[in-house]
Structure 1
């Protein structure tokens, strides 16, 4: 049996490349692509209304708004890749601090109970409020 050479790259190298590609794949989608991806999608899940049920000018205004939100979004590719690589799941729980000047999002291990997740967020919120 021959010895395999050591990998010439690290896990950090893999994560960095994944983050670079994730950023590239999500950067600046075309206006037409945004509209194409909206077509046939429900406005509100189980609401019975699709985006393409609206009149052309209403759909176009919504398409422009969605495109602006996407192109103005923060590049969190590195965070997203690292969360996935660490096996963490994003949570809907978040804290807003100082008139929305700081927002903290949370991600938890899949085996952490919902009660433990809420308790952790409450603990962080308490520490922020009391300065502990």
Structure 2
């Protein structure tokens, strides 16, 4: 029992609610403003020489049609995003680092299962990589057997 009238679980639930709300309530103009300043991942080699969305799509001809279309697609992705705010808060509280998700899809191309793994920061890279590979192999085997799926 703590000396407070609330628990750590209460704090985490509130933090998760705030994260989810912040994401749901972002406006199209806020998305556009952030895209103006953010690098397009595929153009950014990590040395600061990448191109922002504004540089990539606003080529000086004042035609922002492509930029607005991209912004709308980002907005749609945000609106359709799964709420993983509670999971994110729990990971941070446990000092775990998430790794890229693993996903499996059926022969129809529809995704059926996704798994995300998070590990402690003090794992040596070789142990972390082996652990993730073994988890992928184990889940892959079960998913393929039960759902007759293939890895994505």
Normalising by structure 1, what TM-score? 0.84
Counterpart residue number, 1:82: 90
Pick one of 21, 28, 40 that aligns with 1:24: 21
Task: Map 1:33-72 onto structure 2 (within 5 A).
Answer: 33-43=30-40, 44-46=43-45, 48-53=50-55, 54=57, 55-72=63-80
Normalising by structure 2, what TM-score? 0.74
The ranges of structure 1 where at least 4 consecutive aligned residues each deviate by more than 4 angstroms after the TM superposition are none
Tell me the secondary structure at the aligned position of residue 101 of structure 1: strand
| Structure 1: gaps of 5 or more residues | none
Deviation of the 1:104 alpha carbon: 0.7
What per-residue deviation string (whole Å, max 9, x for no partner) do you get for residues 13-58 of structure 1?
Answer: 1111111111111113111110011113222314643211324111
| Structure 2: gaps of 5 or more residues | 58-62, 143-152
Check if 1:118 corresponds to 2:129.
Answer: yes
Equivalences, count: 126
